């Protein structure tokens, strides 16, 4: 037997026994017709019980679903089971699909992250390779600069020697030649320096470009990774949503079917309720008459009680517990009340050990 | 049977010995003994020169041309002539220290430069300026109005450098600035300015270099040097009015160092010579360094960058350069030392895009040279120079093109030269005028004339004063003036062919032929007749006929006097002393005649072994032209010499 949908409130009485949860009696609940049934909705306008609280009166309470559930439960274990059985494959399939999807997602994300890591390592390798190449280029350029400078100096030395051989030092031609080849050396060194500077600047720029492109590639890779992850998550989310939607559709279908069933049951129950209502009204009237009689009897009893209370109050008013003592010594009205010492007051144990 | 010639031999009278002097075109010959010279030579030719075919006559007289300054002696001449001829000046330096240009018979001082007492100058005109050099005074030029000295410029001051940017490092640099003179010379460097904490790459920052210009009239600009302290090298130049430079860290030169000496004063040189459109000088501080200027109009620059240059001639050989001359036609420069002469070629060598001057030299002679630049003169296509080995000529070897030879031409006066002392060699001066190379020995107050036309010497010419500088100058009337600077005072003279005196003083003339044997020195001769042919007699001319008689005694066998008035009446200029009477106004005797020949002859009939003719004048205004002379004699037989001489 399926679990009851509603469990009677604690202390609530039952009209038709504890087993019949459909007509659970709740003294705090009053009944009213539910709104009529809308074909598109579950709840119609048929009178449904509403709960009103009275001080001492407890009216029967309950809800339609409870009644219906009770009714379904009454007849339904087989219906619900059948219904559940009908939808169980679908739901199981969807649950399995959800499980598969949820099981696959971490793997996909891990794969994406792994791809990203692989690509990143590749990029780092490329970057390191590029930096190494650039460093080698710089070293080669520096070596070339050194070679060019050496060559320029060597040429200067050779020209100087040639000039010495050709002109000696006894004429301005030698001086002029020396200064010209000195200028040539300067130009040569300047050109070598300039070329080296240009090369190094380009290499430096290339290094910066490499770093920038590496950064960009890394960022792109990161973006791609995030995009892939997002895409994966979105796909999985879509799938989950789809499954959830399908499951919702199934649930909805199931609920709809269940509602139809419940409405059918409710209508049946309402007819029964209408039939019983009159009887219940009669019972209520009887009950009220009985209650009025009991109340009248209570009023009379109360009068007697009140008489007794009056007698007691009189007695209390006319009797005393503080008789006059005429044998006491007079004392000065201005006498100050003595201060007592040694008065002890109780302390909480917590304070004692505080 | 013996054969006897019974015919009486025919009488053959001895031949008449003749001695004829038709020309003296070989001039004076002092080298040979008086008996060795030919009849075309003279043994004495005081104050004589040759004209025509070799006719001796009195040299030109001298007259005061102008007085230069008030005191001192002449230290050099210079001339300036503008292209349009409106300015044509001659000026002289005296020990007073100022250039004085002729102004009538007086002078006008040219301001702008002065020279120490005792400093000789030389000058050349090129490019509208007359450049004047001295060994101890700045290069100076004259533009017709005033002197402009290439003054020594002080080094720039107040050099400071600031680093524009805050880029710093461990580098340090020193800057220096030098000023460039108008002649291309440079000052010494300013005090350096050291900046520390500079980046190793100086181009990472820029540096503001600024300084104060030196106080001087004009200069060309500045050069900035940069480098390690004490090792700064050339960096850049600025114009004269720019006293700052933005150094952007460009590399400085490798080998152009800061000049060590101040050369803004222009070259200081004893010599200056024009070689085409260049000037040639010799650095007085390096007396073997020939300085060659750039080409016109950069002739004041001796920098190789402008096209100038230098060459050391036989450097530090103990013999310094004593003169410069340009060998005509050969397009070569001849450099003289005391005992050597060299031919300098100015070639150019292309180095890259530059054509740098590449002077080379080759020796002409390593034995003879020139003692004094003032003795060097261009004589036609040759160069005459006088040195301790005599008077030499440098010129083309005949029939050989491009071969320069040097030959001595002073052999005939070598005994005269032997008497010269060091001062004579150092103070001698010469010029070439009227086809005569005339060299003066001011301390001896004499000149020797080399007659280029006849290839002979005449003289010596004797003066009452010494001549230390000579200059040929064509005045504004187109008249050539042979200007003479006194070695004794501030007077400037010039030769005047119309005068027979030296500034009013007697110019005595003596002509003496060689001693003539009349054919055979072993036989006596009886001079029968003598004949003299003269011309243009002025004043009083005395003719003496000396003989060495049989006893070996030289006696005046005949003397006679010829006067101008005796010949052709009273005309022309008188012979009054200068300053005592007006020319040609009184004492009309001894006047000059026309150009007619004057013949004198006579009989002598005196026995002699040698005969010598002497013609002298000892009065002002006396002169003659000795055309010809002839003696007729009868030679005596062998053994006619004196028995006292018999061995």
Between A50 and B410, name the one with better pLDDT. B410
- Please give the radius of gyration of chain B, using alpha carbons only, rounded to the nearest integer: 33
pLDDT higher than threshold 60 for residue B282: yes
Do B588 and B538 touch, CB atoms closer than 8 A?
no
Per CB-CB distance under 8 Å, the chain A contacts of B236 are none
Q: How far apart are the C-alpha atoms of B234 and B256, rounded to whole Å?
A: 5
pLDDT higher than threshold 80 for residue B521: yes
Of B230, B229, B233, B237, which is closest to residue B256 (Cα–Cα)?
A: B233
* % of chain B beyond a pLDDT of 70: 93
Contact of A150 with chain B, judged by CB distance below 8 Å, is answered with no
Nearest-by-CA chain B residue for A191? B251
CATH class for the region spanning B16-40+509-637: mainly beta
Contact of A182 with chain B, judged by CB distance below 8 Å, is answered with yes
Q: How far apart are the C-alpha atoms of B366 and B319, rounded to whole Å?
A: 11
Write down the mean pLDDT value for chain A: 71
pLDDT computed for residue B188 by the predictor: 84
Buried b (16+ CB within 10 A) or exposed e, B342-367: bbbebeeeebeebebbbbebeebbee
Contact of A184 with chain B, judged by CB distance below 8 Å, is answered with yes
**Average pLDDT, stretch A72-82?**
61
pLDDT computed for residue A348 by the predictor: 62
**Average pLDDT, stretch B619-625?**
89
DSSP B620-632: TT-EEEEEEEEEE
- A186 vs chain B: nearest CA distance in angstroms? 6
A25-34, A84-93, B383-392, B603-612: which range is least confident on average? A25-34
pLDDT computed for residue B242 by the predictor: 93
Tell me the range of B161-165, B184-188, B481-485 where mean pLDDT is highest. Answer: B481-485
Judging by beta carbons within 10 Å of its beta carbon (0-12, 13-18, 19+), is residue A96 exposed, middle or buried? Answer: exposed
Among the partner-chain residues A172, A181, A183, the one whose CB lies closest to the CB of B304 is A172
| Residue A280 parent element (H or E) | helix A172-318
pLDDT computed for residue A77 by the predictor: 59
Q: Which residue in this structure is represented by tokens 């959800």?
A: A98
pLDDT computed for residue A222 by the predictor: 85
DSSP B56-105: EEE--EEEEEEE-SSSS-EEEEEEEE-TTSS-EEEEEEETTSSEEEEETT
Do B464 and B457 touch, CB atoms closer than 8 A?
no
Q: Where are the domains of chain B?
A: 16-40+509-637, 157-247
Contact of A133 with chain B, judged by CB distance below 8 Å, is answered with no
A78-87, B48-57, B148-157, B222-231: which range is least confident on average? A78-87
pLDDT higher than threshold 80 for residue B330: no
pTM: 0.68
Question: What tens digit of pLDDT does each residue of A92-119 get?
Answer: 888 888 888 888 888 888 888 888 888 8
Q: Which residue in this structure is represented by tokens 């002379």?
A: B629
| Size (chain B), residues | 647
**Average pLDDT, stretch B168-172?**
79
Beta bridge partners of B278: B275
Contact A170 B292 (CB under 8 A): no
3-state DSSP of B395-414: EECCCCCCCEEEEECCHHHH
Per CB-CB distance under 8 Å, the chain B contacts of A201 are none
pLDDT higher than threshold 60 for residue A291: yes
Q: CA A247, A252, A255, A259: dihedral to nearest 10 degrees? A: -170
B396-400, B439-443, B447-451, B523-527: which range is least confident on average? B396-400
Among the partner-chain residues B315, B354, B357, the one whose CB lies closest to the CB of A180 is B354
pLDDT higher than threshold 70 for residue B575: no
pLDDT computed for residue A213 by the predictor: 85
pLDDT computed for residue A13 by the predictor: 37
pLDDT computed for residue B158 by the predictor: 95
Contact A172 B360 (CB under 8 A): no
Query: Of all residues in chain B, what percent are helix, strand and coil, respectively (each to 5)?
Result: 5, 50, 45
pLDDT computed for residue B620 by the predictor: 87
Structure tokens at B224: 């900035």
pLDDT computed for residue B566 by the predictor: 61
From residue B473, how far is each of B49, B439, B477 by CA, in Å? 21, 17, 11
Question: What tens digit of pLDDT does each residue of A305-336 get?
Answer: 777 777 777 777 776 676 665 555 555 556 55
Do B139 and B150 touch, CB atoms closer than 8 A?
yes
> Hey, of B315, B351, B361, which one would you mutate to test binding to chain A, going by the most A CBs within 10 A of its CB?
B351
Q: Could you give the angle at the alpha carbon of B387 between the alpha carbons of B385 and B390, nearest 5°?
A: 90
**Average pLDDT, stretch A246-255?**
82
CB pairs under 8 A between A and B: 66
Q: Where are the alpha helices (DSSP H) in B103-171?
A: none
pLDDT computed for residue A112 by the predictor: 83
Contact B360 A171 (CB under 8 A): yes
Per CB-CB distance under 8 Å, the chain A contacts of B351 are 176-177, 180-181
Contact B254 A183 (CB under 8 A): yes
Write down the mean pLDDT value for chain B: 88
Contact A189 B312 (CB under 8 A): no
pLDDT computed for residue B400 by the predictor: 62
Do B271 and B280 touch, CB atoms closer than 8 A?
yes
pLDDT computed for residue A32 by the predictor: 42
Contact B254 A182 (CB under 8 A): yes
Contact B357 A172 (CB under 8 A): yes
Q: How far apart are the C-alpha atoms of B26 and B19, rounded to whole Å?
A: 17
Task: Give the 3-state secondary structure of residue A7.
Answer: coil
Of B444, B490, B489, B487, which is closest to residue B467 (Cα–Cα)?
A: B487
Structure tokens at A216: 């960009």
Contact of A191 with chain B, judged by CB distance below 8 Å, is answered with no
Question: What tens digit of pLDDT does each residue of B150-167 get?
Answer: 877 889 999 999 988 777
> Hey, of B358, B360, B362, which one would you mutate to test binding to chain A, going by the most A CBs within 10 A of its CB?
B358
pLDDT computed for residue A150 by the predictor: 87
Question: What tens digit of pLDDT does each residue of A118-165 get?
Answer: 888 888 888 888 888 888 888 888 888 888 888 888 888 898 888 888
Question: What tens digit of pLDDT does each residue of A190-209 get?
Answer: 777 777 877 887 888 888 88
């Amino acid at each position: 037997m399926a679990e009851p949908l509603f469990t009677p409130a604690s202390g609530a009485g039952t009209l038709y026994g504890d087993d019949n949860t459909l007509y659970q009696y709740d003294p705090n609940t009053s009944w009213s017709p539910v709104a009529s049934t809308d074909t598109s909705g579950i709840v119609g306008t048929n009178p449904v019980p509403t709960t009103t609280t009275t001080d001492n009166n407890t009216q029967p309470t309950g809800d339609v679903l409870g009644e219906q559930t009770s009714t379904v439960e009454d007849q339904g274990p087989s219906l619900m089971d059948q219904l559940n059985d009908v939808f169980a494959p679908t739901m199981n399939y969807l649950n399995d699909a959800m499980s598969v999807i949820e099981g696959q997602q971490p793997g996909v994300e891990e794969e994406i992250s792994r791809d990203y890591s692989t690509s990143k390592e590749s990029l780092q390798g490329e970057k390191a390779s590029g930096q190494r190449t650039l460093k080698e280029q710089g070293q080669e350029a520096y070596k070339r600069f050194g070679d060019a400078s050496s060559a320029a100096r060597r040429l200067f030395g050779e020209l100087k020697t040639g000039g010495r051989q050709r002109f000696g030092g006894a004429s301005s031609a030698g001086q002029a030649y020396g200064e010209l080849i000195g200028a040539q050396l300067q130009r040569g060194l300047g050109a070598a320096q300039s070329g080296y500077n240009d090369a190094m600047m380009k290499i430096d720029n290339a290094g910066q470009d490499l770093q920038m492109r590496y950064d960009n590639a890394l960022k792109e890779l990161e973006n791609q990774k995030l995009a892939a992850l997002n895409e994966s998550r979105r796909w999985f989310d879509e799938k989950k949503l789809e499954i959830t939607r399908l499951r919702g559709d199934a649930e909805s279908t199931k609920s709809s079917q269940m509602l139809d069933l419940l409405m059918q049951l409710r209508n049946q129950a309402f007819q029964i309720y209408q039939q019983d209502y009159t009887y219940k009204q009669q019972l209520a009237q009887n009950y009220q008459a009985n209650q009025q009689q009991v109340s009248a009897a209570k009023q009379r009893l109360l009068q007697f009680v009140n008489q007794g209370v009056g007698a007691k109050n009189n007695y209390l008013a006319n009797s005393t517990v503080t008789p006059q003592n005429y044998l006491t010594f007079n004392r000065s009205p201005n006498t100050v009340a003595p201060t007592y010492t040694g008065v002890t007051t109780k302390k909480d144990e917590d304070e004692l050990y505080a | 049977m013996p054969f006897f010639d019974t015919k009486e031999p025919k009488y053959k009278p001895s031949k008449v010995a003749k001695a004829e002097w038709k020309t003296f075109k070989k001039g004076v010959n002092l080298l040979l003994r008086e008996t060795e010279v030919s009849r075309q030579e003279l043994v004495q030719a005081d104050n004589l020169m040759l004209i025509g075919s070799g006719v001796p006559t009195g040299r030109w007289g001298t007259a005061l041309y102008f007085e230069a300054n008030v005191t001192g002696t002449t230290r050099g001449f210079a001339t300036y002539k503008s292209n349009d001829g409106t300015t044509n000046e001659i000026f002289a330096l005296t020990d007073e220290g100022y250039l004085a240009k002729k102004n009538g018979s007086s002078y006008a001082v040219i301001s702008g430069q002065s020279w120490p007492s005792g400093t000789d100058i030389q000058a050349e005109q090129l490019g509208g300026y007359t450049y004047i050099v001295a060994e101890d005074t700045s290069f100076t030029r004259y533009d017709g109005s005033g002197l402009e000295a290439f003054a020594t410029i002080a080094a720039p001051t107040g050099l400071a450098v600031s680093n524009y940017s805050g880029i710093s490092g461990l580098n340090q640099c020193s800057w220096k600035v030098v000023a460039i003179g108008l002649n291309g010379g440079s000052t010494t460097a300013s005090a350096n300015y050291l900046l520390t904490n500079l980046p190793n790459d100086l181009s990472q920052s820029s540096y503001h270099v600024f300084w104060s210009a030196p106080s001087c009239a004009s200069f060309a600009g500045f050069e900035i040097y940069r480098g390690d302290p004490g090792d700064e090298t050339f960096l850049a130049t600025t114009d004269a009015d720019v006293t700052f430079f933005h150094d952007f860290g460009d590399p400085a030169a490798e080998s152009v160092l800061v000049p060590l000496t101040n050369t803004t004063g222009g070259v200081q040189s004893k010599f200056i010579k024009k070689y085409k459109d260049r000037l040639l000088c010799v650095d007085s501080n390096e007396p073997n360094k020939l300085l060659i200027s750039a080409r016109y109009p950069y002739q004041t620059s001796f920098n190789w960058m402008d096209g100038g240059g230098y060459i050391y001639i036989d450097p530090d050989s103990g013999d310094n350069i004593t003169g410069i001359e340009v060998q005509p036609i050969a397009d070569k420069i001849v450099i003289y030392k005391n005992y050597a002469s060299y031919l300098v070629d100015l070639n150019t060598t292309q180095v890259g895009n530059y054509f740098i001057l590449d002077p080379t030299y080759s020796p002409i002679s390593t034995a003879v040279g020139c003692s004094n630049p003032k003795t060097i003169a261009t004589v036609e296509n040759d160069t005459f120079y006088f040195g301790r080995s005599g008077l030499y000529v440098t010129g083309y070897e005949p029939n050989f093109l491009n071969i320069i030879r040097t030959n001595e031409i002073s052999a005939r006066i070598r005994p005269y030269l032997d008497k010269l002392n060091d001062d004579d060699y150092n103070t001698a001066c010469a010029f070439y005028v009227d086809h005569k190379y005339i060299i003066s020995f001011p301390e001896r107050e004499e000149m020797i004339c080399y007659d280029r036309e006849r290839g002979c010497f005449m003289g010596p010419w004797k003066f009452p004063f010494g001549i230390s500088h000579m200059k040929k100058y064509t005045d504004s009337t187109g008249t050539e003036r042979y200007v003479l600077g006194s070695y004794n005072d501030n007077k400037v003279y010039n030769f005047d062919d119309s005068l027979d005196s030296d500034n009013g003083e007697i110019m005595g003339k003596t002509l003496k032929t060689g001693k003539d044997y009349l054919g055979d020195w072993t036989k006596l001769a009886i001079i029968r007749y003598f004949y003299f042919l003269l011309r243009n007699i002025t004043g009083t001319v005395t003719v003496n006929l000396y003989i060495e008689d049989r006893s070996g005694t030289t006696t005046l066998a005949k003397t006679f006097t010829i006067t101008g008035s005796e010949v052709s009446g009273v005309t022309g200029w008188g012979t009054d002393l200068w300053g005592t009477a007006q020319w040609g106004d009184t004492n009309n005797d001894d006047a000059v005649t026309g150009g007619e020949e004057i013949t004198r002859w006579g009989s002598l009939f005196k026995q002699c072994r040698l005969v010598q003719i002497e013609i002298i004048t000892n009065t002002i205004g006396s002169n003659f032209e000795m055309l010809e002379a002839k003696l007729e004699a009868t030679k005596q037989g062998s053994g006619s010499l004196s028995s006292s001489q018999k061995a």
